[in-house]
Amino acid sequence: MSNPVNIALVGMGWWGQKMLAVLQAAPADIRVVRAVEPNLETVRELCASKGVALSADYADALNDPAVEAVVLATPHSMHTAQIAAAVAAGKHVFCEKPLALTKAEAERSVALCHAAGLVLGMGHERRFEPPVADLLAMADAGTLGRIHQIEANFSHDKFLSLARDNWRLKADQAPAGGMTATGIHLLDLSVRLLGAAESVLCICEQLSSDLPQGDTVAAFVKFKGGGTSYVSASLANPFMSRFTVYGSKGWIDIRDKAHVEAPDGWIVTSAMAGGPIVTREIGKAEPVKDNLVAFARAVRGGDAYPVTGEHLVNNIALLEAVFRSATSGRIETVA
Ligand SMILES: NC(=O)c1ccc[n+]([C@@H]2O[C@H](COP(=O)([O-])OP(=O)(O)OC[C@H]3O[C@@H](n4cnc5c(N)ncnc54)[C@H](O)[C@@H]3O)[C@@H](O)[C@H]2O)c1
């Protein structure tokens, strides 16, 4: 593509810096022209070394006619207002997960972008992991038959070293253990494969840490169209990421060899009806970059961005019910 989409990276913490790093390798599709970070000193040198203009105020990006899209890597509770401001300024939006903490907010953001004809991208890069993309294509083609069940876990202990006043450790900003950090990717893949959820039972416990939102979470989801998904996450055990789908004609189990921060490939085990169990290794890829490139191509009128407004709303409706169930200890209906 000869006409890169000019973006502003908003929020230059852990993930904003990761996105800046991967985008150095994708200049043909997407170009970082600005960064916004209130703590200027933390990234002043980095941005200067990359030739990226840096300022503390989001309005600077919104008022910059060179910026076509904003990429939000800010705390979750800011996403809804920042999307509304971007849409008012006529900018496309790529938002990190979760899109919102309530279904009503998710619906508002999806509707605003849709009405303005702006692309809404989402930080669900797991869909762009090569074995996950293959799995989704096989499911869509019917190769796996009727999808019966999903089992998935995404755990790490990276937050144990965060300062205890970090927003990511606040029960009101990141409720239900690791559900907004990692589990949300698995909920996204679950609604992508099984559609809107009907009900969920979530159990969230604090077992071996002082993390105020709990360190161990498990959610058991029933889908309106049939099928179930068991999604679990720990913020206090070593890295693990596994996604398994069982269908009437075959099953696939995908394990990441490393966290997506520094991908190292995948181990895929599968079996089709009547066939042997097969294990193979898939080489490294950079799904965070590939997701942003897909967003840029959609902005330029290429293939439609694959995470649809319906997926986004279904996912956050389920997330909101997960929060309710984690508090009530009961099975909660998904709105
Ligand atoms: N897709 C993934 O796999 C993935 C991985 C990690 C984080 N994330 C997401 O990225 C987002 C950020 O998470 P993080 O771990 O990088 O957090 P972080 O705290 O490291 O970074 C957030 C940054 O936003 C800045 N900020 C605060 N208010 C701001 C404002 N008004 N305007 C601009 N910047 C502001 C903070 O100063 C901070 O530097 C979250 O939504 C998180 O879920 C996604």
How many Cβ atoms from other residues are within 10 Å of residue 302's Cβ?
A: 13
Q: What is the largest CA-CA distance in the chain?
A: 60
How many angstroms is it from 270 CA to the middle of ligand 1? 35
Residue bearing the CA closest to ligand 1, atom 6: 15
CA distance 112 to 106: 10
CA 201-204-210 angle, 5° bins? 175
pLDDT, mean of residues 212-238: 97
How many angstroms is it from 75 CA to the middle of ligand 1? 5
Is the per-residue pLDDT at 1 higher than 70?
no
Kindly state if the Cβ of 19 falls inside 6 Å of ligand 1.
Answer: no
| % of the chain surpassing 70 pLDDT | 100
Kindly state if the Cβ of 188 falls inside 6 Å of ligand 1.
Answer: no
Q: How far is CA 334 from CA 134, 299, 324, in A?
A: 29, 32, 10
How many angstroms is it from 10 CA to the middle of ligand 1? 8
Tell me the three state secondary structure of residue 229: strand
How many angstroms is it from 96 CA to the middle of ligand 1? 8
How many angstroms is it from 283 CA to the middle of ligand 1? 28
How many angstroms is it from 260 CA to the middle of ligand 1? 16
Residue bearing the CA closest to ligand 1, atom 26: 11
Beta bridge partners of 36: 10, 55
Kindly state if the Cβ of 57 falls inside 6 Å of ligand 1.
Answer: no
Summarised one tens digit per residue, pLDDT across range 24-64 is 887 789 999 999 999 999 999 999 999 999 999 999 999 99
**Model-level pTM?**
0.97
What is the CATH code for 5-124? 3.40.50.720
Find tokens 């389920």 and name the residue: 318
| pLDDT on residue 126 | 98
Ligand 1 atom index nearest CA of 166: 19
Summarised one tens digit per residue, pLDDT across range 248-281 is 999 999 999 999 999 999 999 999 999 999 999 9
Tell me the three state secondary structure of residue 320: helix
What is the DSSP track for 80-147? Answer: HHHHHHHHHTT-EEEEPSPS-SSHHHHHHHHHHHHHHT--EEE--GGGGSHHHHHHHHHHHHTTT-SE
Ligand 1 atom index nearest CA of 72: 11
| % of the chain surpassing 90 pLDDT | 97
Determine contact, residues 143/134, Cβ cutoff 8 Å. Answer: no
Tell me the three state secondary structure of residue 234: strand
Summarised one tens digit per residue, pLDDT across range 87-129 is 999 999 999 999 999 999 999 999 999 999 999 999 999 999 9
How many secondary structure helices (H) and strands (E) does the chain include? 9, 15
Query: Would strands 120-122 and 147-155 be described as parallel, antiparallel, or unpaired?
Result: unpaired
Query: Would strands 216-223 and 30-36 be described as parallel, antiparallel, or unpaired?
Result: unpaired
How many angstroms is it from 157 CA to the middle of ligand 1? 17
What is the DSSP track for 296-307? Answer: HHHHTTSSPPSS
CATH architecture of structural domain 126-333: 2-Layer Sandwich (3.30)
- In the chain, domain spans: 5-124, 126-333
How many angstroms is it from 17 CA to the middle of ligand 1? 9
Find tokens 């679950």 and name the residue: 190
How many angstroms is it from 204 CA to the middle of ligand 1? 23
CA distance 72 to 56: 14
CA distance 120 to 95: 7
Amino acid 144 reads L
| pLDDT on residue 26 | 72
- Report the residue among 47, 95, 96 best suited for mutation to probe ligand 1: largest number of ligand atoms under 8 A from its CB: 96
CA distance 282 to 265: 5
Kindly state if the Cβ of 10 falls inside 6 Å of ligand 1.
Answer: yes
Kindly state if the Cβ of 145 falls inside 6 Å of ligand 1.
Answer: no
Q: What length does the chain have?
A: 335
Determine contact, residues 254/144, Cβ cutoff 8 Å. Answer: no
Determine contact, residues 326/217, Cβ cutoff 8 Å. Answer: yes
Kindly state if the Cβ of 96 falls inside 6 Å of ligand 1.
Answer: yes
CA distance 196 to 238: 31
Helical spans, DSSP H, in 170-308: 184-194, 287-299
